[in-house]
């Protein structure tokens, strides 16, 4: 079964963050670079609900996991 391919901006909306281009750029600028030894869900800037969503997405390989990986790479400057 094919998994939905969510656009990157939809992940920001799912997390309750501004999801327009300026909002995404501002978030990345504010929180980059995220150190390599910190798992994305453990970053200090997430709310508990956001961290839980990110953790669940990665652990259960949900249809959001590719975008969560993309966000991790973007925050690490990759």
pLDDT digits (tens, 9 = 90+) for 51-70: 999 999 999 988 899 999 99
User: Residue 51 in contact with residue 41, Cβ under 8 Å?
Assistant: yes
pLDDT digits (tens, 9 = 90+) for 22-44: 999 999 999 999 999 999 999 99
Specify the pLDDT at position 78. Answer: 62
Q: Which CATH code fits 8-75?
A: 1.10.10.1130
Cβ contacts of 15-20, under 8 Å, gap ≥ 24: 15/50, 15/53, 15/54, 16/47, 16/50
CA atoms within a 13 Å half-sphere pointing along the CA-CB vector of 74: 18
Q: What whole-number distance in Å separates Cα of residue 31 and Cα of residue 44?
A: 10
pLDDT digits (tens, 9 = 90+) for 1-17: 455 688 999 999 999 99
Does the pLDDT value for residue 20 go beyond 70? yes
**The pTM is what?**
0.89
């Amino acid at each position: 079964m094919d998994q939905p391919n969510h656009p990157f901006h939809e992940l920001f909306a799912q997390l309750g963050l501004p999801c327009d281009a300026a909002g995404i750029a501002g978030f990345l600028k504010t929180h980059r670079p995220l150190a390599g030894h910190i798992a994305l869900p453990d970053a200090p800037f997430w709310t508990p609900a956001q961290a839980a969503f990110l953790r669940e997405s990665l652990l259960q390989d949900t249809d959001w996991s590719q975008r969560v990986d993309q966000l991790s790479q973007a925050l690490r400057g990759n």
